Structure 1
């Protein structure tokens, strides 16, 4: 029965109505799949415009319908159905990893918003462990940009990649990269934000900036030694606006400890972002304090 659907052979032609019944889809959905290149009829009668499908196409039709039940965008479904078996499974895994990351982030956001709406922010903040750490002075190569929240993730990734490449030619990267927020970055406020990579050779870094860094206003500066109050968060918690809960938790802890904030807040990225899963720790949300 491997080459048959019910008692109909795979190569048998079916009207769109009969095929839709077998595939458990509507004729409207089949027409949409045709327009998008997901499932074309085996034959279209030039005189009447009637569409005919082969019985063997039922499996693909059902596959498309099942992928739609995952809320997979049609463009990504097209990639899956046109790929070979191994690659199609990999594309499905990649899509589902994106879904899980998004849901994990939304779960964090829901908890944060529930606390805001009920006036129980402290219940949310209490889920974050805040500590302090002393950090040595360091020389950093930096890139600054005014950016809104929706543009921020892409810019952070690109700018840190550029700066790490520069640092490798200037004695190497000496510590975790970080992003400093000199003003609020949100849907309405554009910062600026400053991407920073600690570098080994200050003179080489200044020469690099003079020769190659002018287009992006890359510069070198000394970051003083000091103490940071920080909380460690997962990849899912980094996304805006759920990351606001982590910043709020650190600020509340600082106030409770009677400490004073001495500089702009920052995010310290200590893990391989691409390799990390949604629940893996990747970032410290921190404030300089005394």
Structure 2
């Protein structure tokens, strides 16, 4: 049998019993590329396994119970055969991401329960009272990067894109005002915007040259942001997370409705503080809507 003695191989049934799995599960793992048989008889199609594959089979089964993506399971079980410590660290990183997502979903579920039941006082206690004010901002030249992105990729893209634009701004006379992100359409798990990161710069000519040089791989551009009046509420670093930030957007929308005011442009987040240096309770961002003068 393909260089193996009969004593070295187990039928799929015998191996399934040893691994405490079903033959159906083993066929699935083979189809998914997670655990291939040691040998397949060309004439009969029968699958045979080695005893040493038992640990991998059991590990695959356990990892699937964590709802781990198949590609990551394949990566992790292969890594486990080379370096168990590294595999354990990779699993820990995956599970930390899962717990962060679950914590966010738990908070969102609490927000939705309060919203559906109309318990506004409990919502304010949970998220704090959002104070809405207005401010006039002058016309500005902005270096921009635009991307269609879903909500799960948005935070990483905002940080990376603003970093790239701020680097470019240093070649364009420097940053002249707080960076901001404009949402030209909804960004959620079903809608991909687009979103536009913007960094105000001093030198329009230099900015256009920089954008032309760097716009081949990203949607980088320069435009003039007109003078605007913004209705905004200020939030902390902790409140930038979902669903607190949703509540902040809705607070400004309620204020506008109460004043009989319609927005005249897309909503935005204005990041006026050093994100890395800020603590959870430090104000870092304004949630804003452009309104008429």
Does TM-score exceed 0.5, indicating one fold? yes
Shift, 1:64, TM fit: 0.6
Does 2:92 align with 1:93? yes
Contact conserved, 2:152 with 2:189, CA < 8 A, in 1?
no
Does 2:31 align with 1:35? yes
Shift, 1:248, TM fit: 2.1
Partner of 2:166: 164
Shift, 1:286, TM fit: 1.8
Partner of 2:241: 237
Partner of 2:69: 73
State the superposition RMSD in angstroms.
4.5
Count of residues in correspondence between the two structures: 272
Does 2:269 align with 1:267? yes
Does 2:113 align with 1:114? yes
What secondary structure sits across from 1:286 in the alignment? strand
Greater Cα shift, 72-81 or 186-195: 186-195
Q: 1:22 to 1:185 in 2, by over 3 A?
A: closer
Contact conserved, 1:126 with 1:249, CA < 8 A, in 2?
no
Contact conserved, 1:142 with 1:197, CA < 8 A, in 2?
yes
What secondary structure sits across from 1:248 in the alignment? helix
Q: 1:37 to 1:152 in 2, by over 3 A?
A: closer
Partner of 1:205: 207
Partner of 2:222: 218
Greater Cα shift, 261-270 or 89-98: 261-270
Shift, 1:94, TM fit: 3.5
CA distance in 2: counterparts of 1:51 and 1:210, whole angstroms: 58
Structure 1 unaligned regions, length at least 5: 1-10
Shift, 1:204, TM fit: 3.1
CA distance in 2: counterparts of 1:160 and 1:131, whole angstroms: 27
What secondary structure sits across from 1:267 in the alignment? strand
Partner of 1:5: none
What secondary structure sits across from 1:21 in the alignment? helix
Partner of 2:142: 141
Contact conserved, 1:205 with 1:220, CA < 8 A, in 2?
no
Which TM-score applies when normalising by structure 2?
0.68
Q: 1:32 to 1:222 in 2, by over 3 A?
A: same
Partner of 1:50: 46
Contact conserved, 1:111 with 1:124, CA < 8 A, in 2?
no
Q: 1:167 to 1:143 in 2, by over 3 A?
A: same
Shift, 1:30, TM fit: 0.6
Structure 2 unaligned regions, length at least 5: 1-6
What secondary structure sits across from 1:141 in the alignment? strand
Which TM-score applies when normalising by structure 1?
0.69
Does 2:181 align with 1:179? yes
Q: Deviations over 1:184-243 (max 9, x none)?
A: 6568988775421133545533554577669754224476798852122548824xx774
Shift, 1:20, TM fit: 1.2
Greater Cα shift, 127-136 or 242-251: 127-136
What secondary structure sits across from 1:284 in the alignment? strand
What secondary structure sits across from 2:68 in the alignment? coil
Greater Cα shift, 224-233 or 111-120: 224-233
Contact conserved, 1:132 with 1:229, CA < 8 A, in 2?
yes
Q: Deviations over 1:21-74 (max 9, x none)?
A: 221211111111112221122222334332222222111111111111110121
